[in-house]
Every structure is written in C-alpha cells, then in structure tokens.
Amino acid sequence: MKTHMPNTISGFSKLSKSEKIEWLLETYFTEKDNARALVERYWNADDKLQKLHDEFIENTISNYYLPLGIAPNFLINDSTLAIPMAIEESSVVAAASKAAKFWLQRGGFKAKVLSTEKIGQVHFIYQGDTKKLEAFFKHVKPKLLSDTASITQSMERRGGGILDIKLRNKSADLPNYYQLHATFETMDAMGANFINTCLEQFAATFKSEALLYEAFNDQEKAINIVMSILSNYVPECLVHAEVSCKIEDLKSKDIPHPMEFAQKFKQAVDIAKVEPYRAVTHNKGIMNGIDAVVLATGNDFRAIEAGVHAYAAKDGTYTSLTHCSIENGIFKFWIEIPLALGTVGGLTSIHPLVKFALEMLQKPTAKALMQIVAVAGLAQNFGAVKSLTTTGIQEGHMKMHLMNILNQFEATETEKSQLIAHFKTNVVSHSSVVEAIENLRQ
C-alpha cells in the first residue's frame, strides 16, 4: 500500500516558480509574507536576466548572492592584473591584495603551464582470458578513434582531441575489472561534455565490436560496461607558480628581520609537509584563493577541489601543496597544482558577471587562466603563512570580521564608525564587540 509522507510532493519540478514558492511557504514557514519578500528581494529587476539565472539549474526560486571582490596589483609574468574573487569569507580578498602588493615590489609572480592532459575512463567487467582482451583492444583501437571522428573534428581544428587510449588491467584491485584509460587535450574548454561524449562512444563501439570478435567465447563477448566518465583527478594538467627574492629584500614594515622571517616561514611550510592535520588547513587557505577565482570565472570549483586534494595525497600521505626553500641567500616559495579550467563553454559564455570577470583578466586562454588561478592560491597561502608566523592570524582576520558582527547586531552607521575607531587599538573578538555595542547603547 502506498503511503504519503508528510511534507513530500509529487511533480514539484512541473510547478511554476511562483507555485514552487507558495508550496514551500505553506509547508515550511510560519512568517510566510517575510519569507516571500526575502525570496523576491533577490530576484533581478531585469526579467530577461532573471530568466537566464532561473535556467542555470532546476527548481530555482531565487538568486543566492556572493560578493565579487577585486584583488589588484598582481604582477604575473611581467603583466599587471586585477583578479576577480567571488567569496564570502572575510579577509581573503584583503590577504590576496596585500600579498600582491608585497611581491609587486619584488619581481612579482612567475607562472608556467607544465602540461594540459585530461583523463576519462570507460570502466568495464570482463570475465575471460586477459591475453585475448589485450589482442582485442589492439584490434579495436583504430575503430574507437574512427567512430569518434565526428565528435572530435571541431576540437581537432582548435588543436585538441584524443591523445591516446590504453587498456588497463585493474583485476588485482577488483575481480574482472578493466578500463579504457583515455587522455585528451581540450584547449580553452574545460571539456567535460566533449570527454564524456567520446567515452560513451568508446563504450558503445567496444561493446558492439566484442560481440563480433571471433577469438572471444560467449562469456568473453559479453563485456559489461559499468560506466563511462571523465576524471576530475588530472595530475598531468599541471601549472607551476612561484615568487622569489633575495632574503634581505623581504625586509618591510612588518618583517624587520628578514632571515628570521624566512626561516620561520619555511618551518611553517615544512610542518604542513609532514603533519596532515596542519596540511589540510594549510591547503584550505590555498583553496580560499583558488576557489574564489574559479567561481568568479564560471568554472567548477568542486571539481578543482577534488582533484587538488587527491593530488596532495598522491604519494600516500596528505601533504602541503606549496613548497619553500632558502638557498644561496634566495627565498623561494612555489606551488605546483593540477587545474582543469576553461574559458569557453558553460557559464563562461552566458553568465554576465563571468564574462565581465574574464574581460577584466584580458580574455585569457585556458592556460593563462591556469596561471592566474595558481598565483591567486600561492598569494593567499603566502599571506596566511606570513600572518601566522608574525602577528598571528586572528589580528587581521577578526578586524575584517568586525563588520560582519556589527551587521549581525544591526549597528547604525554612527555606531559602526565609533566601534571601528575603538577596535583600531583593541583586540577584536565576538564577545568584546558585543560588550562594546552594549556599552555604547547604554
């Protein structure tokens, strides 16, 4: 007997936006008018633009805003850029900007793309003689490529396409498990749809040709395709970014003793290399910068996160993504990181602010964007480690967070002005701000 659970609904996706909202309000909210007003307040006044946003995903009811900030003064390979960052966390944009300004006077950032190879796999089960499977793969490989010719022709005109297909025997890890491991070059596109379309054609050709292969017995002909999907782990889609200068050139207002600073900074990075508890937070700081630029440029930050963290653990232990050296009087700080990014296709072509962000970055190629994003992550990490090893992280972070606390307590502009002045010379904490607000209001 079918039962209807409370608060469930059938056919929700078929309702209009207003009907979806009304159902939500009736089902989950007590202050319905306030909730409705909040949802509608975040609609775009331009109906055409709002419709565009509504069609990005399914079941949309409103827009969820994130601040779009700008970190200026990034000198990257001798060109100066202002970098767009979409993020909600206090002090991230400030830290990136401060790091950019620091290195602007010390030669700036250098970056280069090491490789751009992306990966997709057809996972399948084969119960039979491995030697016969290897012979079949050698026989069918040309047809795998020819059957995708219509899919790849446009990409090939731009210089990309399928680089190679290999048969991998994974049966030692899982009984009867094999895969077609394919590598791709997707140029300025992130390439997910291109790769997945090619993989699904590989799977169809592989399965149908197996049925015709005379050397297979009936069991061997029945290759079971489990799935065909790109991998977000792209260890051969790598970019390198670095900063370096003479140790004495590190001297600044907040670095009075440059050698002492350099040594302590390197120790902090070295700790993140050997201590996973620290490495996770260390790398999270890197991703503060990376995710913010990835999101601002319409790329998939979840895919980037997954691939980056897998790369951080590629040698069996989770470790720092950044590295530091002090050699021959030179301080050097660098990152090597996998980034599969695109500047054409997806949201890059249709989201107005993404187009704005890419134009701000001088309409970069995918390789140029890889360099910019890696630099943003390195700058963010430099700023965080510099704060940790000098003033401590909370001094700057909590002063940036002060405004959030004041807004939480609905401080007036006059109160904000007085309290900001007060906390220029006092330690910021949530409790100290609350106490100051209460004292002011008394």
DSSP secondary structure string for all residues of 128-158: S-HHHHHHHHHHHHHHHHHTTHHHHHHHHHT
d(CA 147, CA 141): 10
Check: CB of residue 121 under 8 Å from CB of residue 401. no
pTM over 0.85: yes
Q: What are phi and psi of 273, to 5 degrees?
A: -75, -30
Considering the candidates 22, 54, 89, 305, report the single residue annotated as catalytic: 89
User: How far, in Å, CA of 181 to CA of 178, rounded?
Assistant: 9
Residue 153, judged by CB atoms within 10 A of its CB (0-12, 13-18, 19+), counts as exposed
Within 13 Å, how many C-alpha atoms sit on residue 197's CB side? Answer: 14
Strand 161-169 to 177-185 pairing: antiparallel
3-state secondary structure 20-51: HHHHHHHHHCCCHHHHHHHHHHCCCCCHHHHH
CA-to-CA separations, 273 to 267, 282, 319, 420, in angstroms, rounded: 10, 10, 5, 38
Name 165's bridge partners: 182
* Calpha distance 204→151 (Å, rounded): 14
Partnered with residue 203 across adjacent β-strands are none
Distance CA 313, CA 290 (A): 18
**Rounded Cα distance, 17 and 50, in Å:** 12
**How would DSSP label each residue in 338-402?**
E----SBSGGGGT-HHHHHHHHHTTS--HHHHHHHHHHHHHHHHHHHHHHHTTT-HHHHHHHHHH
Q: Which of 284, 323, 332, 355 is catalytic?
A: 284
How far apart are alpha carbons 231 and 299 in whole angstroms?
Answer: 16
H or E element that contains 168 = strand 161-169
Q: Is 300 a catalytic residue?
A: yes
List the pLDDT tens digit at each of the 442 positions of the chain: 455 577 899 999 999 999 999 999 999 999 999 999 999 999 999 999 999 999 999 999 999 999 999 999 999 999 999 999 999 998 899 999 999 999 999 999 999 999 999 999 999 999 999 999 999 999 999 999 999 999 999 999 999 999 999 999 999 999 999 999 999 999 999 999 999 999 999 999 999 999 999 999 999 999 999 999 999 999 999 999 999 999 999 999 999 999 999 999 999 999 999 999 999 999 999 999 999 999 999 999 999 999 999 999 999 999 999 999 999 999 999 999 999 999 998 888 899 999 999 999 999 999 999 999 999 999 999 999 999 999 765 555 566 667 778 888 888 888 888 888 887 777 777 788 888 888 888 8
Q: Which of 53, 300, 386, 401 is catalytic?
A: 300
Q: What is the DSSP letter of 230?
A: E
Distance in Å from the first CA to the final CA of the chain = 63
The three-state secondary structure class of 89 is coil
The per-residue pLDDT for 423 is 79
Our measurement of the distance from residue 243's CA atom to the centroid of its chain's CA atoms, rounded to an integer in Å, reads 22
Nearest to 354 by CA among 339, 369, 367: 369
Alpha helix positions (H), 42-191: 47-54, 92-104, 130-146, 149-157
Rg (CA), the chain: 27
Give catalytic status of residue 397 as yes or no: yes
- The dihedral over CA atoms of 207, 212, 213, 219, expressed in degrees to the nearest 10, equals 70
Provide CB contacts within 8 A for 234, sequence distance 6+: 117, 118, 119, 307, 338, 339, 340
Question: Given this model, what pLDDT does residue 3 score?
Answer: 56
Tell me how far apart the alpha carbons of residues 186 and 196 are, in angstroms, rounded to a whole number.
Answer: 12
The two structure tokens encoding residue 379 = 């700058």
Which backbone phi and psi does 377 adopt, to 5 degrees? Answer: -65, -40
Q: What is the pLDDT of residue 345?
A: 87
The overall longest dimension of the chain from CA atoms, in Å, is 91
Q: Does an H or E element contain 163, and which?
A: strand 161-169
3-class SS at 411? coil
Convert 331-364 to b/e letters by CB count within 10 Å (16 or more is b). Answer: bebbbebbbbbbbbbbbbeebeebbebbebbeeb
